[in-house]
Amino acid sequence: MWEPQQPSVRMVTRLLLLTSALLSTCQAAESPALFTSVTLTLEPSNAVSQGTNVTVRCQALVSSSGFLNRKYTIYKDNTVVYTESITTAEDLIYSLRMARVANTGKYKCKVNIPGKELSSSSEKLTVTGLQTPVLSVDKRVFSEGEEVTVGCKAPGESGAIVFYFYKDSKELYEERVDANHVETRLRFNNAGDHRLHCDYRVILLTDSVPSNASNNVVVTVKELFITPVISVRPHGSMIIEGDNLDISCSVSGNLQNSSGLKVFLSKGPTLLSSGQSKANHSMRALAEHSGEFQCSLEVGNVVKRATENVRITELFSQPVLTMYPTEVFEREKITLTCKSTNYSSDRISASDVKYSIYKDNYTLTPGSFNGIYVVPGVVPNSSGIYSCKADARMISKYSAKLPVQAKVLVSKPEITAIGRVIVGKPFQVRCHSDRGSLPIEYTLWKKYSEVNSTTVQQPHHQAIFPVTVQHYSDMQDYKCEARNNPKIDTVVSNKLNTTVIVPLSNPGLSVVPDLLEVTEGNEMYLICGVEGSPPVTFKWYRRGNVQPLCTTTSTQSSASHHIKGVGNEHSGTYYCEAINYANMVRSQPVTVDVKMATWKKGLIVACCLLVVALLALACVLRYNSKRGKRENAAELSVKPSSPKSDDSLTVSLTHSTMEVYNPPEVGVDAAVSVWSERPVDPGSDGESSAASNNEPDVEYTEVVHRQPVDPARAPLRKGTETVYSEVQNSPTGAPGDHYDYGSVEYADLNGDQPEVNHALLEVNHQDHHDLPVPVE
């Protein structure tokens, strides 16, 4: 049974909803309305260049008592370009994006409301500037008489456009289109090269050719002898809030032949009342009702207006909500005061005004509240939107909203150094608190002395102080304070704790082993040491080399460069550099002289001893050889020659060749050399005879004039042999000097200068030198 009834219930519900919608539409259509004005404006201006965004704004001021449907129509040169219907009082916006020359023209706006319409005055828009056209050809080379497709395009342009094609600057073809491009086929009969181009013209109504003015006709317009009349009660300027206000709008004059007459009573855009010949409106006067009331009379298309300015005195002024203190921190008490400063003493007293306070639209106080309220400090979050209301004689007024943001106490600040801290160089210290409402005052202290202070006003600002320390231990002396509530003591940070970089100093390069002990084949360590903060980068250099020998980074104050198998090539001048984040220092150069290896020295000494031994052996062998030659020479035949006088001495040697050399005179008679060929001695032995067969015997005789015999200069004897010595001054004049002239030995017995000349005997022989022998 219930199922057949369900469709009928649904149908009835739908019919009720449809009827309600129709009734609301009819009521909206029948709602009276009155035009005030319709205006059209062009933004940004009436004259723009191409590519500018232009806004066409249509504004309609309509007085109505309720829902109203408006239809807006935009015209350009009396041609509809845009239409839209809206139900709100907002302006209609018609946008021309990237305006072109084709948008040039006269614009106006017409607004339709049920049974009425009103148009604005025209505004002319002028757009200047055209885009450069682009010519296209399907092929560049073709035969005489062949057709070619040619196109011309005006990028971004619109409207009615006439395109013109030219050949060698002469017009060849034209075509009008309602687009920004055109294509056509052209035939060329003349052979040769031709230059083609195109241009275009945008057709505008304003560019048409005007005619002459027509004849003048005088017409007369008669005034309607009816006028609107507005009246306000009570009369005068003493209208106080709460009074009954009666306003009427009527018509004065001859109402004959005034069919279709209507009157409208309005205040601003609000239509208060309307009628055929009279309109009345009554209300309880409020201060916001003060202003201009308007009575409009409408007959056909004729509208006449009358206005009355009404001033209403406040019964009591709008309440003002204040708080104390003006800045409040979390968990602090707040005193809220709501008061109306002015009231009409003729009607009410101050006690007649009652107040209520609200927070976030929730009531905090009853309606009989006297206007002062204290928010307890135990409330965890006192932030919110506060307002109050004043009531008297059934009139209520609300204060402006008062946003309250409870401040957050500043938290313990943190003190940090920005960047690297180097002794002796300026750096920055930052003080920052994670929590706390601005403004916050930060103060930097060094022990018990204030260094500097600053106040942070904006969220993106920071408290930064410039600082310079002269010793790394000074960092522990800095701390900062923060305060944002003058009623509470400052909050102090911990001491500044950061890494301090001490610049490097006193660089030195040492060599291990000692410089005097660096020998070939051993190991050598170049140790570079400094004073300062690690990490330190050490570099070792050898003078003359641009690139470092070695580079290493250490957390210690020294480092070493190890050289294995030192050789002579490692001799030279070395120095090192040390670098940390503060500076770079260089050591004094150290010269390394690699000594020869011990085994090499021993080898050299051994070689030298071997050479000396060999030389000594050679000398012994030479001495023995000479001695054997002397013994052989003693066996030679030596015979004396007859002296010419008693003071002459003749020395004769029988040999192959003998040359006598006479030195210059030394103050005595010069020696006389006699060359004679000696006859064969019959008494000589066979050996001498045999020798004489090969070459003649030559006898060399030296005649020496002798001085008187000095017993002290007696001939030397060696054993039983007699040795004659030649006496001659030594170069140094030292007595007892000996001279060796080849194999002839002479002895200076007493060191005196001899009085005689001597002969240097040079004996050439194939096997040996013959020693001089005395001649008896």
Of 461, 488, 467, the C-alpha closest to 479 is 467
Positions of the chain with pLDDT lower than 50, given as ranges: 1-10, 12-13, 16-17, 19-30, 637-776
C-alpha 259/C-alpha 33 separation (Å) is 18
| Per-residue b or e along 436-445, where b marks 16 or more CB atoms closer than 10 Å to that residue's CB | bbeebbbbbb
Return the pLDDT at 160.
Answer: 87
DSSP reduced 3-state for 370:
coil
Residues 6+ apart with CB under 8 A from 678: 652, 654, 697, 698, 699
Phi, psi of 135 (to 5 degrees): -100, 140
Q: What is the dihedral of CA 600, 605, 607, 611, to 10 degrees?
A: 160
| Residue tagged 């957050």 (tokens) | 408
CB atoms within 10 A of CB 571: 15
Residues counted in the chain? 776
Return the pLDDT at 215.
Answer: 66
C-alpha 94/C-alpha 83 separation (Å) is 9
DSSP 8-state class, residue 720:
T
Return the pLDDT at 486.
Answer: 84
Q: Indicate the residue type of 472.
A: Y
pTM: 0.44
473 close to 502: Cβ distance less than 8 angstroms: no
Return the pLDDT at 125.
Answer: 93
In DSSP notation, 113-164 reads ETTEEEEPPPEEEEEE--PPPEEEES-S---TT-EEEEEEE-TT--SSEEEE
Cα–Cα distances in angstroms (integers) from residue 265 to residues 113, 116, 229, 281, 729, in the given order: 18, 17, 10, 8, 167
| Residue tagged 């976030």 (tokens) | 360
Q: Indicate the residue type of 216.
A: N
Return the pLDDT at 517.
Answer: 77
In DSSP notation, 584-622 reads EEEPPPEEE-PBPPHHHHHHHHHHHHHHHHHHHHHHHHH
Return the pLDDT at 721.
Answer: 43
